Structure 1
Amino acid sequence: MSQANEGGSGAALAGLLDLERLEEDLYRGGSPVTTWQRVFGGQVVAQSLVAAQRSVGEGQFVHSLHGYFMRPGDTSLPIIFQVDRMRDGRSFSTRSVRAIQHGKPIFMMAASFQVEEEGFEHQDEMPDVPPPEALSASDLMNDSEHAPAPIRNYWKRERPIELRPVDLEDFLWRKKGSRGQCIWIRATGEPPKGRDYQAAFLAYMSDMTLLDSTLYFHGSSVFSDRVQGASLDHAVWFHRTFDVSDWLLYVHHSPFAGNARGLGQGQIFDRAGRLVASVAQEGLIRIRENAPRFYEQGGG
């Protein structure tokens, strides 16, 4: 069972995804050594997918997963992953996974796997945005020095995923009232080349920044002391093969927020403009009473 430093590299994430087999369809995984108080949602999604993948026959690949976050994960304890083989068919197989700590599920997921077939094809077009090479990672680091402390501290950490927002000013300061964002993402270092690991990496990446898209319109952030934010559910549809070590464009949009919840939707394109995955997530975005306004704290 592997652990990694806070954030860490792509190689460290690969270690987290290399679950320890305890028994048939029973696995154990770790969490990074971190100052965070709870397990990152994308981590438990990715680890649950790895557990499910290990029970599926050769030639079937994940095409969708749907999960619910039930309790905060404890970063100081291992997570037990229990797989249930719900159905095995010639074309499709279905698995459910429970991620357990303290004897209770913290996350439950269903995943479906399919043998690849030929069929009708269409897709949405990728937005026309600058390529990642035209955007500088140093710009993000430099500009975040003037951002509120929670964002500044977040971006100083080493992490297994590199991000380059297309609209850096809006990403950091939320002054445009937009309901979306485009962010180039890729794994740092050299992740494993196997297709199962690629899917697990993408599942991890898909939870980054999506809930935050529900707060752009309101000039706020999940980092804000005014907001109690938490992922409630998460879904990913895998459309085509991809390479997480190359840049992927993650397009965010939030069609709705209300009743202390926000819905974020995402599309992930490769450099060639192929739509490789779609994502949806609903999260808690509850306003904390009597808390200071986030961007007033940072001088923004």
Structure 2
Amino acid sequence: MTRAARDAAADPAGASSQSSVPVDASGMPHGQPVLDRLVALLDLEPIEENIFRGVSPAESPVRVFGGQVAGQALVAAGRTVPSDRRVHSLHAYFLRPGDPSVPIVYEVDRTRDGRSFTTRRVVAVQHGKPIFSLSTSFQIEEEGMDHAESMPEVPAPEELPTYGERLGAMAHEIGGMANLPRPVDIRHVTEPPWLSRRQGPRDARSRVWMRADGELPDDDLLHVCLLAYASDLTLLDSVLIGHGVYWGVDKVQGASLDHAMWFHRRFRADEWFLYDCSSPSASGARGLATGNFFSRDGSLIATVVQEGLLRVAD
């Protein structure tokens, strides 16, 4: 990563002062300049063999966003794998809250290099302690059996309001991620959780269209990392919707505990995909959420499962 790229990733305010950055209906930056800064954020700095360093944007929540550290860890793993092998799965644990004010060091263990599969383990370290661990597997392309679930019938993304239009003035009431630059275009198919909470508990399901808010380079690993980043944006919403509460506007304490993804078919993260999420269970101050990603033509491209810590105060 060049110094300019690191500066742009770590200081979005500084980068926006050098070029015009569009804002959405809620006043938050979005579009190609914001997406470019996320791409720069994922361009890790190699500091030693199998060791990489990443940064967080200056405009961050109080802890590092889980999708960011997952995407950066996947980049670190991919930098040690031959280009003819594609990610097909990842399994991760969030061990400690990440500190956005200091760099994150990613240490890669080259676990196995087989004829068809390559396995890597990555540990993200801050202040001398692991904050995140990732195991991921890569595979050469092979032919085999092929079937998939069908995509549900939903309105097209162009028929739906933007995230900013839906959020409006509530962005400041919700706080957190709602007040940060948006590199991903999100269009809610189901009613947004900050509105549906007024109706009380309902079906524990969230459906949104998503895409990277701009154009991405033709780098397969980058598109996978963008999908991993996006997968953490709305997944646990399906748990909260089922109980009529939401971050920021209700007394909800939450954090991702673990995260697993399986990548089934090729896709582009800068083209529309549907994220269909549901929650089969919540108990013991934890909620489980599952999600399927479908490309616009109906192909199932990835599956996600996550458990989150969710505590709701009276």
- Output the TM-score relative to the length of structure 1: 0.90
AA partner of residue 28 (structure 1): R
Is 1:196 the counterpart of 2:221? The answer is: yes
> Does the aligned pair in 2 maintain the 1:146–1:152 contact within 8 Å?
no
> Does the aligned pair in 2 maintain the 1:38–1:73 contact within 8 Å?
yes
3-state DSSP class of the match of 2:277? strand
3-state DSSP class of the match of 1:47? helix
AA partner of residue 168 (structure 1): E
AA partner of residue 98 (structure 2): G
Is 1:163 the counterpart of 2:220? The answer is: no
Runs of at least 5 residues in structure 1 that lack an aligned partner in the other structure = 290-300
Structure 1 equivalent of residue 23 of structure 2:
none
Aligned-residue offset at 1:172: 2.9
Aligned-residue offset at 1:223: 3.0
1:33-52 equivalent positions in 2, closer than 5 A: 33-52=58-77
Q: Distance between the aligned counterparts of 2:122 and 2:116, measured in 1?
A: 20
Structure 1 equivalent of residue 16 of structure 2:
none
- Specify which of 99, 103, 110 is matched with residue 74 of structure 1: 99
> Does the aligned pair in 1 maintain the 2:254–2:309 contact within 8 Å?
yes
AA partner of residue 14 (structure 1): V
Q: Distance between the aligned counterparts of 2:312 and 2:157, measured in 1?
A: 34
3-state DSSP class of the match of 1:71? coil
- Specify which of 41, 49, 57 is matched with residue 82 of structure 2: 57
Structure 2 equivalent of residue 280 of structure 1:
305
The Cα RMSD (Å) is 1.9
Aligned-residue offset at 1:276: 0.3
Q: Distance between the aligned counterparts of 2:171 and 2:87, measured in 1?
A: 39
Identity %: 49
3-state DSSP class of the match of 1:191? coil
The verdict on how the C-alpha distance between 1:62 and 1:148 changes in structure 2, with shifts beyond 3 A counting, is closer
> Does the aligned pair in 1 maintain the 2:171–2:178 contact within 8 Å?
no
> Does the aligned pair in 1 maintain the 2:193–2:245 contact within 8 Å?
no
Is 1:265 the counterpart of 2:290? The answer is: yes
The verdict on how the C-alpha distance between 1:170 and 1:287 changes in structure 2, with shifts beyond 3 A counting, is closer
Structure 2 equivalent of residue 23 of structure 1:
48
Q: Distance between the aligned counterparts of 1:254 and 1:74, measured in 2?
A: 29
> Does the aligned pair in 2 maintain the 1:171–1:181 contact within 8 Å?
no
Aligned-residue offset at 1:142: 3.8
Structure 2 equivalent of residue 132 of structure 1:
157
AA partner of residue 192 (structure 1): P
> Does the aligned pair in 1 maintain the 2:255–2:309 contact within 8 Å?
yes
> Does the aligned pair in 2 maintain the 1:167–1:181 contact within 8 Å?
yes
Aligned-residue offset at 1:171: 5.7
Q: Which region of structure 1 is more displaced relative to structure 2, 175-184 or 81-90?
A: 175-184
The verdict on how the C-alpha distance between 1:33 and 1:169 changes in structure 2, with shifts beyond 3 A counting, is closer
> Does the aligned pair in 2 maintain the 1:144–1:151 contact within 8 Å?
no
3-state DSSP class of the match of 2:77? helix
Is 1:151 the counterpart of 2:184? The answer is: no
Aligned-residue offset at 1:154: 4.6
Q: Distance between the aligned counterparts of 2:45 and 2:61, measured in 1?
A: 23
Aligned-residue offset at 1:105: 0.5
Aligned-residue offset at 1:181: 1.4
Q: Distance between the aligned counterparts of 2:217 and 2:192, measured in 1?
A: 34
1:229-244 equivalent positions in 2, closer than 5 A: 229-244=254-269
Aligned-residue offset at 1:26: 0.3
Aligned length: 287
